Structure 1
Amino acid sequence: MLQFILRRIGISALVLLMGSALMFFATINAGDPLQDLRESRATNRDQLIAARIDNMNLDLPWWQRYLSWLAGAGKCLALQCDLGTSRDGANINALLLSSAGASLRLVSLSVALAIVIGILLGVLSAIRQYSGFDYAITFLAFLFFSLPVFWAAVLLKEFGAYRFNNWIADPALATTAMAVIAVVFAVVVAAVLGGGLRREAITFAVTAVVVFGAVLVFDRVDWWRQPALGLPIIIVGALAALAFFLVLTVGLSERRILYSGLGTVATGIVAYFVTAPVVRDPSGWWVVLALGLVALVVGAAIGWFFGGFQKKIAMFVCGGTALAFAFLVFMDQLLRNWGGFLQQVPRPIKTIGDAAIPYQKLDGNFYIIMYNWGVQLVLPTIVLTLISIAGYSRYTRSSMLETINQDYIRTARSKGLSDRVVYSKHALRNALIPITTIVAFDFANLLGGAVVTETVFGWKGLGDMFKTGLDFVDPGPVMAYYVVAGTAAVFMNMLADIAYAFLDPRIRR
């Protein structure tokens, strides 16, 4: 395996080297970097031209400029990068750090959401092939997959920012809007739960009534500006998470693990009151992460001591339930501070990135500062997530269908194993092997390819840096972009190869 990895690194380094030469040559021949100054009527035009020639080394042949850049980029191996200066004399290293940080904030969240939601939808579509749910997911996947990014971004700015900001100033829902929301939720829940026509009709009716009633209550108590979950909803959510993990592993009939999970929920209720002073205003992210880690450890410990002969499964179920409980507590506090944030920022959803304008200084606790940091991520994250979900769901469905038709799956069923065990323990793991390649390259492509999204939302990330470098015929920012995007592609491809070996031990040989 080590020899294979080293060989791949060598080949990838050669590909990066050849690609960098081609990128540099194409960029410097894309136009005249001095054209704007030659057309200028400024009295110091000659001095400005001389300064730009010096900054960009335009007095040297192209191959010397490339070798000079390559020597500086080669120092990155020793973590001492020297990517030169831009045409205005700005340090490329500092520009790259700022742009990469903005893009990572944007891409990491969208990729994580797309992976989880896309794979889940793909698995459910494959299990319920040719059902109403499958047809709906297929239609939406093709719709989002073919959606022009710029058009989706503009629509989100119109409805998710401008109109939402106008509505949240005095939120109120008409009865028709409540009915539409209830029907949409009822259709989704009935499709997900499935069953016969009678069961789907009952599920639809019950869900529609419950959702309509909940939305009506929310509207009457002005929940839209003063939201909260409350302990009862947190408990219900934790029990739903417990049921999900049980269905995913051993089913609801395994009493010891079920009781262990219920004990975890009871422990979470006690911890809700004990940790309330800290959770109301944590001093930083490290406190939130530490509390989450404590919840995971306590849940796993409960599973270990009370899980019986299936300790590992019990630790997984109880640990996952504890994390779900902790997440719901965090979301409860986050929602409770929404009203305080609205008082300082009446129009909360931003349409341009935080690098385009400075942060608005707000007075408030940890959650209000988090809102101020995160609202600018909402719209571009939704765009990138929807497009990625479409691809993940279709590839996962195809891979899952191919896997569940294999002989070893039929053998597992003939042994009397339940569908839950067949799908989760036998089919899903092998179906994820081709998905790892898509995940790896999707992250690299989004990191270096969100040019349109960053342009529409004014997000000063890698895409904007690349576009600016091309517009100004400045190879410095373009090559810095190439270093990050190319390295990300190579590194993620390497992770995909390692993931293959983990998912299928036969590949290690």
Structure 2
Amino acid sequence: MLNFLLRRIAAGIATLVVALFLMYLLVDRAIDPLQDLIESTAPNKQQLIDQRIADLDLDVNVVVRFFQWFGNLLTGDLGTAWRSGRDVSDVLVHAIGSTLELVTASTLLAVLLGVTVGIVSALRQYSAFDYLIIFLSFLLFSLPSFWVAVLLKQWAAIGFNDFLRDPVVAWPVIIGASLVVGLLWSLAIGGTALRRLQVFGTAAAANVALLAYVQLTGWWERPQIGPVLLLVLGAGSAFAVVGVFAGLHNRRALWTALTVVVLGTVLYFPMQVVFDSVAESHWMIAGLGLLSAAIGYVVGRLYGGADWRLSARAGAAVAVVMGALIFVDQVMQVWGPYFKALSGRPIPTFGDRTPNLGGNYWVQVLDSFTHLALPTLTLVLIAFASYTRYSRSSMLEVMNQDYIRTARAKGLPERLVVVRHGFRNALIPLATVVPIDVITLLGGAIITEAVFARPGMGQLFVGSLDGAEIDPVMAYLLVTAFLAILANIIADIVYATIDPRIRLDA
């Protein structure tokens, strides 16, 4: 492993230097910092041109200028955006932060939803659900991102803000939506006609109950999860996690997950005091998340048994879900003042922050979430189609392999065949796709950022090119090239982690 990393790092550094040199030459050729002065009608036009040539060293050979820039880079100096006079490092930090928020949210959701739906679609091949997912995937894949973004601004932002003036959902709409949800679940689960009918009725009734709860309790005006809903959602996640990864027959894993749910519900009340008395930060929340996973793992270890590791992993996963629900509940508690501060229109259509908003940590987190909602949904809808198709085709290929037939011939349960033998191997092609997609998005979702006016990496690149500022452009290219090289190394490591047959030190 160490030899592999050293070789790849050395090759990556060499590639990065060559790429930066070539990019510097191309960018210098593409931009003209004197264009605005050449078109100027100022009486001292030539004097202004001479002054800018001297300020930007344009009379120096481009190769020499590259090595001057590269030498400054080695000392940590990324240069200056000469039009605004700001340090490139300051501009880059803000742009990376804005893009990281968007990329993290959209990638996690797209991978989770896309892979899950793709796997289910493959297992239900040639069913009505499979055909529905294929149609939806091709439809979303063919839609231009700017068109999706504009529609979301119109219906998901403006329409939802208008709905919040009088948030009442008609009962026929509730019933109709619940019937659709029940139908989708019955198609996804499959089985005999009786089983489908049972799934349909259960899912439709659960959806009616949930929407009725939202409607009758005035949830839209005072959104919160609370201990009761926390217990219900936690129990549902516990059964889902154990059912998929351990099987509901594994009583130790099931009791571990349910114990973690009860423990999380009990800790809900003291956590309110902790959040009110401690200075919150992202690092504190991350630490609490790790602590939650550790507690869930310990609970599984205490239940013991021959397969205690399976119980521990299930407990850790459910503990993270419970921690996330408590975090979301705490953010929801500041919805009232945030709603009033934005004059009853809490879903914004541009930017990444509300100017001069003020408020505590939770208000700032809620403001960040609302600004992320539309651009994240845009990227998720587009990426969902790709991940669904990748995971479906990969799972179909894996499930036709000889070792899958051997596992079934040995009498292993179908759940075990799918999760342990099929799912893990189906992830191998995604190990290439996901890191490259993440790096592409870190380079800036240029169209999405432009539609929603987010000051991310994409807008930094486009704005710097328009302004003929070579230092910000090169800083952007430095970051994207470095991350592209890093993504390839990570993909190789993930390969070896997923598939033991792959050896990095071969």
TM-score (norm 1): 0.91
- Indicate the residue corresponding to 2:19 in structure 1: 19
- Indicate the residue corresponding to 1:283 in structure 2: 279
Shift, 1:129, TM fit: 1.4
CA distance in 2 between counterparts of 1:60 and 1:389 reads 49
Q: Does residue 194 of structure 1 match 2:190?
A: yes
User: What pairs with 1:147-158 in structure 2 (closer than 5 Å)?
Assistant: 147-158=143-154
Shift, 1:449, TM fit: 4.1
| Matching residue within 127, 132, 144 for 2:140 | 144
* 55 and 99 in structure 1: CA distance in 2 versus 1, 3 angstrom threshold: farther
CA contact (8 A) 2:95 2:455 kept: yes
SS at match of 2:30: coil
CA contact (8 A) 1:238 1:265 kept: yes
Partner letter of residue 243 of structure 1? F
CA contact (8 A) 1:280 1:333 kept: no
- Indicate the residue corresponding to 1:349 in structure 2: 347
- Indicate the residue corresponding to 1:296 in structure 2: 293
| Matching residue within 383, 386, 390 for 1:391 | 386
CA contact (8 A) 2:124 2:188 kept: no
Partner letter of residue 492 of structure 2? D
| Matching residue within 128, 133, 148 for 2:129 | 133
SS at match of 2:393: helix
CA distance in 2 between counterparts of 1:257 and 1:135 reads 35
- Indicate the residue corresponding to 1:168 in structure 2: 164
* 54 and 185 in structure 1: CA distance in 2 versus 1, 3 angstrom threshold: farther
Once structures 1 and 2 are overlaid, which stretch shifts more, 209-218 or 41-50? Answer: 41-50
- Indicate the residue corresponding to 2:431 in structure 1: 436
Aligned length: 501
Shift, 1:371, TM fit: 1.0
Once structures 1 and 2 are overlaid, which stretch shifts more, 232-241 or 478-487? Answer: 232-241
* 96 and 362 in structure 1: CA distance in 2 versus 1, 3 angstrom threshold: closer
Deviation >6 Å, runs of 4+: none
| Matching residue within 175, 179, 182 for 1:183 | 179
- Indicate the residue corresponding to 1:410 in structure 2: 405
Shift, 1:489, TM fit: 0.5
* 223 and 51 in structure 1: CA distance in 2 versus 1, 3 angstrom threshold: farther
Q: 1:128-151 CA deviation, whole Å, 9 max, x = no partner? A: 212222222222222222211111
Q: Does residue 108 of structure 1 match 2:104?
A: yes
Shift, 1:43, TM fit: 6.1
- Indicate the residue corresponding to 2:488 in structure 1: 493
User: What pairs with 1:245-256 in structure 2 (closer than 5 Å)?
Assistant: 245-256=241-252
* 435 and 205 in structure 1: CA distance in 2 versus 1, 3 angstrom threshold: same
CA contact (8 A) 1:107 1:447 kept: yes
Partner letter of residue 160 of structure 2? F
* 43 and 67 in structure 1: CA distance in 2 versus 1, 3 angstrom threshold: same
Shift, 1:71, TM fit: 2.5
Partner letter of residue 177 of structure 1? V
Q: Does residue 470 of structure 1 match 2:470?
A: no
Once structures 1 and 2 are overlaid, which stretch shifts more, 133-142 or 254-263? Answer: 254-263
CA distance in 2 between counterparts of 1:268 and 1:102 reads 32
Shift, 1:246, TM fit: 1.7
- Indicate the residue corresponding to 1:322 in structure 2: 319
Shift, 1:94, TM fit: 2.0
- Indicate the residue corresponding to 1:423 in structure 2: 418
SS at match of 1:506: coil
CA distance in 2 between counterparts of 1:295 and 1:428 reads 26
- Indicate the residue corresponding to 2:5 in structure 1: 5
CA distance in 1 between counterparts of 2:276 and 2:123 reads 42
- Indicate the residue corresponding to 1:203 in structure 2: 199
Q: Does residue 29 of structure 1 match 2:22?
A: no
CA distance in 2 between counterparts of 1:48 and 1:156 reads 46
SS at match of 1:507: coil
CA distance in 1 between counterparts of 2:147 and 2:324 reads 34
Q: Does residue 236 of structure 1 match 2:232?
A: yes
CA distance in 1 between counterparts of 2:434 and 2:155 reads 30
Shift, 1:67, TM fit: 2.4
* 165 and 266 in structure 1: CA distance in 2 versus 1, 3 angstrom threshold: closer
CA contact (8 A) 1:257 1:307 kept: no
Partner letter of residue 53 of structure 2? I
| Matching residue within 254, 258, 267 for 1:258 | 254
CA distance in 2 between counterparts of 1:411 and 1:156 reads 48
- Identity of counterpart residues, as a percentage? 39
CA distance in 2 between counterparts of 1:158 and 1:12 reads 44
CA contact (8 A) 2:399 2:422 kept: yes
CA distance in 1 between counterparts of 2:171 and 2:254 reads 41
CA distance in 1 between counterparts of 2:221 and 2:156 reads 16
Q: Which runs of 5+ in 1 are unaligned?
A: none
Shift, 1:209, TM fit: 4.1
CA distance in 2 between counterparts of 1:70 and 1:198 reads 70
* 210 and 239 in structure 1: CA distance in 2 versus 1, 3 angstrom threshold: closer
CA contact (8 A) 1:282 1:366 kept: no
Q: 1:47-66 CA deviation, whole Å, 9 max, x = no partner? A: 64345324432121222222
CA contact (8 A) 2:230 2:265 kept: no
Partner letter of residue 263 of structure 1? T
TM-score (norm 2): 0.92
| Matching residue within 334, 347, 358 for 2:331 | 334
- Indicate the residue corresponding to 2:305 in structure 1: 308
- Indicate the residue corresponding to 1:267 in structure 2: 263
CA distance in 2 between counterparts of 1:111 and 1:131 reads 28
- Indicate the residue corresponding to 2:76 in structure 1: 81
- Indicate the residue corresponding to 1:71 in structure 2: 71
Once structures 1 and 2 are overlaid, which stretch shifts more, 423-432 or 366-375? Answer: 366-375
Partner letter of residue 102 of structure 2? L
Shift, 1:373, TM fit: 2.6
CA contact (8 A) 2:351 2:453 kept: yes
CA distance in 1 between counterparts of 2:90 and 2:285 reads 30
CA contact (8 A) 1:52 1:87 kept: no
User: What pairs with 1:84-103 in structure 2 (closer than 5 Å)?
Assistant: 84-88=79-83, 89-103=85-99
CA distance in 2 between counterparts of 1:182 and 1:43 reads 72
CA distance in 2 between counterparts of 1:269 and 1:213 reads 21
CA distance in 1 between counterparts of 2:316 and 2:352 reads 36
- Indicate the residue corresponding to 1:456 in structure 2: 451
User: What pairs with 1:208-227 in structure 2 (closer than 5 Å)?
Assistant: 208-227=204-223
Shift, 1:441, TM fit: 0.4
